[in-house]
Amino acid sequence: MNTKEEILNVALSLFNNKSVKSVTTNHIAKEANISPGNLYYYYKNKEEIIRALFDIMIQDEYHICEQSTCDTLEELNNYFKNLFKVYQEYFFMRRDIFSLTLNDSILHEKFLKYQETENTETKKWILFLIKKEVIMDIDEKTVEFLTQNINFILLFWSPYSKLFLPKLNKNSLDEGLHMINSLIKPYVNLVQD
């Protein structure tokens, strides 16, 4: 692992286990066993580190998206389950997204584009399942409702469950998946070819 990757790994661990606000570049440098000057050679400030982690998280998500066919509800569930795993890995991003985007206009723009892509992808999967008659034919407003609510759960489930459950674990991720399934279930065609 090179120094740049080590900085990101250490920062991710610190951000996930503490508040981003309480972690400084000096903390990151100390944990990575490098000088602050060496850290600044790679990243000018903490915001650059956060943006780099955000970009990696998005790459991980897009990789999952590219590998998913979502031809069935089971495949769609696996897709969402894999997304939840990425969200767990980058937990701080969801926990602190409001303060992070308020304090960094570059990250704010990236996040808005990311959310737009997430909405587009979720809607695409819903429309595809309607076309395959897995989900009944529903009106555009209901498709939008499902899209927004599924993405709301995807965005906020990890911090919500961490707040109300003692430890973010497989069961809490399964509960998030169950919430998404509860939204979709009323629209599932009972009779499929």
What confidence score (pLDDT) does residue 65 get?
83
Looking at the structure, tell me whether residues 70 and 132 fall in a common domain: yes
Looking at the structure, tell me whether residues 81 and 174 fall in a common domain: yes
CATH number, domain containing residue 34:
1.10.10.60
The pair of structure tokens assigned to 45 is 């400030």
The stretch 141-164 carries a mean pLDDT of 90
Kind and range of the H or E element at 117?
helix 105-131
Q: At what angle do helices 140-164 and 73-89 cross, to 10 degrees?
A: 40
Looking at the structure, tell me whether residues 120 and 172 fall in a common domain: yes
With respect to residue 193, please indicate whether it lies within any of the assigned structural domains.
Answer: no
Looking at the structure, tell me whether residues 143 and 113 fall in a common domain: yes
Q: How many CB atoms lie within 10 A of CB 138?
A: 15
CATH number, domain containing residue 145:
1.10.357.10
With respect to residue 175, please indicate whether it lies within any of the assigned structural domains.
Answer: yes
Looking at the structure, tell me whether residues 31 and 116 fall in a common domain: no
As for how many domains the chain has, the answer is 2
The stretch 5-23 carries a mean pLDDT of 95
What confidence score (pLDDT) does residue 181 get?
92
**Which of 1, 21, 100, 99 has the alpha carbon at shortest distance from 53?**
100
The distance of Cα 114 from the centroid of its chain, to the nearest Å, equals 10
Looking at the structure, tell me whether residues 8 and 74 fall in a common domain: no
Confidence of residue 34 (pLDDT cuts 50, 70, 90): very high
- Report helix, strand or coil for 23: coil
Looking at the structure, tell me whether residues 58 and 23 fall in a common domain: no
Alpha-carbon gap, residue 131 to 50, rounded angstroms: 39
- Tens digits of residue pLDDT in 167-183: 656 677 788 889 999 99
Q: ∠13-17-18 over CA atoms, to 5°?
A: 115
What confidence score (pLDDT) does residue 75 get?
86
Range of the domain at 3: 1-44
Contact predicate 122/150, CB 8 Å = yes
With respect to residue 174, please indicate whether it lies within any of the assigned structural domains.
Answer: yes
What confidence score (pLDDT) does residue 164 get?
75
Contact predicate 48/39, CB 8 Å = no
Q: Residue 188's beta-bridge partner residues?
A: 135
